[in-house]
Amino acid sequence: MEPPMEPSGGEQEPGAVRFLDLPWEDVLLPHVLNRVPLRQLLRLQRVSRAFRSLVQLHLAGLRRFDAAQVGPQIPRAALARLLRDAEGLQELALAPCHEWLSDEDLVPVLARNPQLRSVALGGCGQLSRRALGALAEGCPRLQRLSLAHCDWVDGLALRGLADRCPALEELDLTACRQLKDEAIVYLAQRRGAGLRSLSLAVNANVGD
């Protein structure tokens, strides 16, 4: 997406309206940028300082962020730019960042977005119990959480989640191989009445 081309000589045609002259909050943000894929927004930021400001204003108001919309592999710097000003996220999916996402990358995002209701961290093996603790303590409205293939999730981490997330309805613990019966029993006692979906597939230490 590019602003209208100016006629030769740099003079604007009489009566012409530039793209950035349109009202940002009434027109561009709700009716234009909402329809632009995140991958294209990264490119749009490079057009000019004005476009960079417009994109950052849009990103600051995001309610849903799925890193898969950027591509199968998103660089750390790109994620930091995209989420730098976001403070109203309700859904966050970061599976494409699984190779490098660390506590230091995730915890500040969680701290700025206490309204999160859905978080997907499947395969993010570089995280630790600290990240899950920050999520459980800082996002009390959490309803859906995917931790599939996160080997760092242990019984202590799950206990913290069960104690501090009263709204939890869906939990994916596929291939969280450190979990044992005791942790699942505790989860069931604390959150079982509210859970609608629980996956414990590929967990050999969880028995009948």
Residue labelled with tokens 């995730």 = 106
Using the predicted structure, report yes or no on whether residue 70 has a pLDDT greater than 80: yes
User: Taking residues 7-31, what's their average pLDDT?
Assistant: 69
Q: Mind listing the pLDDT tens digit for each residue in 159-193?
A: 999 999 999 999 999 999 999 999 999 999 999 88
> pLDDT band for position 19 (50/70/90)?
confident
Which amino acid belongs to residue 146? S
Copy the structure tokens of residue 177. 């191989």
Q: Mind listing the pLDDT tens digit for each residue in 140-160?
A: 999 999 999 999 999 999 999
* Fold that domain 62-197 belongs to in CATH: 3.80.10
Quote the mean pLDDT of the chain.
Answer: 88
Measure the CA–CA gap between 75 and 147, rounded to whole angstroms. Answer: 21
Using the predicted structure, report yes or no on whether residue 204 has a pLDDT greater than 50: yes
Dihedral pair phi/psi, residue 63, rounded to 5°: -105, -25
Measure the CA–CA gap between 59 and 31, rounded to whole angstroms. Answer: 14
Give the residue extent of every domain in the chain: 18-60, 62-197
| Cβ atoms of residues 160 and 186 within 8 Å | no
Q: Mind listing the pLDDT tens digit for each residue in 96-148?
A: 999 999 999 999 999 999 999 999 999 999 999 999 999 999 999 999 999 99
State how far the alpha carbon of 125 is from the alpha carbons of 5, 99, 184, in Å.
47, 7, 21
User: Taking residues 44-66, what's their average pLDDT?
Assistant: 89
Using the predicted structure, report yes or no on whether residue 6 has a pLDDT greater than 50: no
Residue labelled with tokens 């997406």 = 1
> Tell me, what's the pLDDT at 15?
60
